[in-house]
């Protein structure tokens, strides 16, 4: 390289240093990894120019290749468009992609113009610290770790192997750099010796009286099916997204070719990451991609005739479908006949019903920094929040406790009916009480 016909006065690596001409500043020139020319001021002194040249040469020399000059926002868009796990090669579900997009956008605020070759531990710490709570920082770290791995594995080789390994498992977490209020923990308790940390006690699930009151109050918002939805969740154990997408055709109270006993097929769930315009609709496979079949009792643990109520609802849904008001014959449709949205269901129907039913609720004030794309800065806001100490999911815990405590279900049976990952999961959560060891141990004393 030359500058106005003058040769460089010194070269450090790939960086040429030029003497001042019309200004009192030294000039630095070098080729970027993709061949484009780099040009910047070296400062007023030769020593200062040398130091800066050393830094530039080290950065250029450590770049992964010609694509290392790609901007992070361009890489982010490609990362999200591919939507594939860099660990397994499997495509992400929509709900996972939604969360990854939120975290990537949050981390790259202010760093969009940085390039792949600029990423070091300091920049990683700065990006992953953009979370209001320690848990958000951990979430950021997980996503950023995947992003680095993806960039190294990509055919364009955006990152070096060293960059891909900047965030190993067990790495120290930076403190959050923005304000956020963590949701209060639902419960704190002592454990019995031998009791799993995940163990769900009877008191961790709603009582019969609580279920009765909730089912009565939910009919205020959903008179056609409010009672059945609560009782079925506690009796058959579907998760919210699994239950609220059920149709009349999933219910076989007279058996089917596969099973003789009354049962329900759970083949889908509402996809939390889907939108109204998602191609193929808002359904995806249940958690873990596992379909299952579960049963329904003649009477629930509260004495509710759940099987007869379900039969009546199936007949009504088929009539609604014929009339055009419920095109999918959903058992638990929204007011306009389609699938429900959980946030709206919780805010407008469930929490008010729980409050009227006397279920334990916890309110707190969330203080957090909200980002504005218009001003490109954070503004501190306060929001009143309410959470249920016994959420809708606790009805599923009641199902498990009833199946074990009343019907003596084995671990394998509960796993199959409830759709848990394996027997170890249900063992820790519902069987390891610690009491069985104490009882057998006391017997040793005669």
DSSP string computed for 119-181 = --HHHHHHHHT-SSSHHHHHHHHHHHHHHHHHHHHSTT--S-HHHHTSS-TTPPPPPPSS---
Find the length of the chain. Answer: 446
pLDDT at 178: 92
**pTM for this model (two decimals):** 0.81
pLDDT at 301: 96
pLDDT at 190: 62
pLDDT at 443: 85
pLDDT at 189: 61
Cβ count near 195 (within 10 Å): 18
Mean pLDDT by 10 residues, the chain (446 residues): 74 95 94 92 96 92 92 97 94 91 95 94 96 94 97 96 95 94 70 75 91 98 98 98 98 95 97 87 91 97 98 98 97 95 96 97 92 91 93 96 94 94 89 76 83
pLDDT at 435: 73
pLDDT at 47: 96
SS3 345: helix
CA dist list (Å): 241 to 98, 181, 272, 300: 17, 27, 8, 21
pLDDT at 5: 67
C-alpha atoms less than 13 angstroms from C-alpha of 445 in its C-beta half-sphere: 4
Cβ count near 441 (within 10 Å): 11
Do residues 133 and 176 touch, judged by C-beta distance below 8 A? Answer: yes
């Amino acid at each position: 390289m030359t500058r106005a016909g003058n040769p460089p006065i010194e070269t450090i690596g790939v960086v040429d240093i030029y003497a001042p001409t019309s200004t009192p500043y030294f000039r630095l020139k070098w080729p970027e990894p993709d061949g484009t020319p780099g040009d910047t001021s070296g400062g007023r002194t030769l020593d200062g120019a040398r130091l800066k040249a050393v830094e530039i040469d080290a950065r250029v020399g450590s770049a992964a290749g010609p694509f290392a000059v790609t901007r992070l926002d361009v890489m982010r868009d490609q990362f999200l468009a591919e939507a594939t796990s860099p660990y397994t090669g499997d495509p992400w579900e929509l709900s996972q992609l939604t969360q990854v997009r939120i975290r990537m956008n949050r981390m790259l605020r202010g760093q969009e113009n940085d390039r792949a070759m600029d990423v070091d531990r300091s920049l990683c710490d700065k990006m992953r610290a953009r979370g209001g709570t320690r848990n958000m920082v951990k979430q950021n770290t997980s996503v950023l770790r995947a992003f680095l791995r993806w960039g190294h594995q990509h055919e364009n080789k955006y990152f070096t192997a060293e960059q891909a390994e900047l965030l190993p498992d067990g790495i120290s977490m930076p403190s959050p750099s923005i304000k956020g209020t963590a949701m209060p923990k639902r419960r704190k308790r002592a454990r019995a010796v031998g009791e799993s940390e995940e163990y769900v006690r009877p008191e961790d699930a709603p009582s019969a009286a609580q279920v009765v009151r909730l089912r009565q109050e939910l009919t205020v918002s959903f008179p056609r099916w409010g009672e059945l939805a609560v009782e079925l969740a506690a009796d058959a154990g579907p998760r919210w997204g699994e239950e609220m997408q059920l149709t009349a055709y999933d219910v076989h109270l007279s058996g089917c070719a596969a099973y003789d006993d009354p049962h329900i097929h759970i083949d889908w769930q509402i996809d939390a990451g889907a939108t109204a315009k998602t191609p193929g609709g808002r359904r995806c496979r249940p958690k873990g991609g596992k379909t299952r079949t579960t049963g329904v009792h003649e009477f629930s643990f509260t004495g509710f005739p759940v099987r007869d109520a379900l039969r009546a609802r199936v007949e009504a849904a088929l009539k609604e479908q014929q009339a055009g008001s419920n095109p999918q014959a959903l058992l638990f449709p929204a007011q306009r006949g389609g699938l429900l949205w959980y946030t709206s269901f919780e805010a407008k129907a469930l929490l008010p019903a729980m409050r009227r039913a006397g279920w334990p609720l916890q309110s707190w004030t969330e203080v957090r920094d909200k980002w504005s794309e218009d001003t490109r800065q954070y503004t501190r806001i306060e929001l009143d929040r309410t959470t249920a100490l016994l959420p809708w999911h606790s009805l599923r815990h009641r199902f498990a406790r009833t199946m074990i405590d009343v019907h003596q279900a084995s671990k394998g049976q509960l796993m199959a009916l409830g759709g848990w990952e394996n027997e170890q999961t249900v063992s820790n959560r519902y069987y390891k009480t610690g009491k069985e060891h104490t009882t057998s141990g006391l017997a040793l004393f005669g």
